[in-house]
Amino acid sequence: MVREFRRGRLGRPDVCDAQPELLRVARNLGRETSTSCPICEQANLVHVSFAFGPRLPPQGRALAQGDLGRLGRSGDELACYVVEVCVECSWNHLLRMFTVGGASGNRVR
């Protein structure tokens, strides 16, 4: 998508589409990185983590630093997502996804 933006095939509204809730979480719970936004190049990206599982709200839970370790020890298998967000231009990208906990014995590392 970034490549298509740089080639002029996509406009900023096509790639800078973070939902207001994601931007709010990024501003309040996100961890700033040293990587500049590939779209606006004006701000550093922020990493935001979310977890989804049987005892969490249907919309998932935004994680503050340290939350994942505690949730991972609950015994439930959790689907976790890390999203990189630019709070200046609203660009966002799913950076990685993984599971923790559960019967398989996966643990937070």
pTM of full prediction above 0.75: yes
- Give per-10-residue mean pLDDT for the chain (109 aa): 90 94 95 96 96 90 83 82 97 94 57
Q: Where are the beta strands (DSSP E) in the chain?
A: 31-36, 44-52, 61-63, 78-85, 92-100
CA distance 71 to 98: 14
User: Given this model, what pLDDT does residue 103 score?
Assistant: 65
CA distance 27 to 86: 10
CA distance 36 to 32: 10
Evaluate whether 87 touches 23 at the Cβ level (below 8 Å).
Answer: yes
User: Given this model, what pLDDT does residue 74 score?
Assistant: 73
User: Given this model, what pLDDT does residue 104 score?
Assistant: 54
User: Given this model, what pLDDT does residue 64 score?
Assistant: 86
User: Given this model, what pLDDT does residue 107 score?
Assistant: 47
